A = this chain, B = another copy of it.
Amino acid sequence: MDAPPRWLDREEKAAWDSFIRMQETLIGRLSRRVQTDSGMSASDYIVLVSLTERGGGRMRFLDLAKLVEWEKSRMSHQVTRMAKRGLVAREDCPDDGRGAFIVATPAGYKAIEEAAPQHVEHVRRLFIDALTPNQLSTLGRLSKRVLDHMEKQPD
């Protein structure tokens, strides 16, 4: 069948390029910032935020993985490294012999409490402040729309 590809037209390509470059630059800068400000990687940061904000500092392994939408293997390696640095600890789950809880240690709380304000400040400076409130909410709405659309699509 091999229909001729429907290449992007000039405007589509311009929009796509801007989006891609913006997103790469933004994410790149933010993660370098987290790294140099706090010594944590962006992954460390996300795990600790999720664990403390949404799980009260203690969460089942797979729930945590689902929350941040990571594969369990990635989470497992990540937790191993973070445990080695004392940011989290593993605990056995009494209800399910296979299971494990991931717990934020005091050092983990300390790390995230120091890093979070700086991170928010950078998000504000680089992203939020670039737009008016209306524009920001538009961007949020459009993002949500793309997200919902993707969820209906096959991989």
List residues of A whose CB falls within 8 A of some B CB: 5-8, 11-12, 14-16, 18-19, 21-27, 29, 32-33, 69, 116-118, 120-121, 123-131, 133, 135-150, 153, 155
Contacts and interface: CB of A to CB of B under 8 A. Distances in A.
A90 B123 CA distance: 40
Contacts of A16: 123, 127-128, 140
Copies of this chain in its oligomeric complex: 2
B128 A149 contact: no
Contacts of A120: 5-8
Chief secondary structure at chain A's binding surface: helix
Given A145-B135, A150-B130, A140 B6 contact: no
Given A15-B141, A18-B144, A19-B127, 16 more contacts: A5-B117, A6-B120, A12-B136, A15-B140, A19-B143, A22-B146, A23-B23, A23-B143, A25-B150, A26-B146, A33-B155, A125-B153, A126-B149, A130-B149, A135-B145, A142-B142
B25 A69 contact: yes
Contact of A8 (B124, B142, B144, B147): B124
A39 to B, nearest CB: 17
Nearest to A7: B120
Contacts of A149: 126, 129-130
Contacts of A139: 15, 19, 139, 142
19 contacts: A5-B116, A5-B117, A5-B121, A7-B120, A11-B137, A12-B128, A12-B136, A14-B140, A19-B127, A22-B143, A23-B23, A26-B146, A29-B155, A32-B155, A33-B155, A131-B145, A135-B142, A135-B145, A138-B138
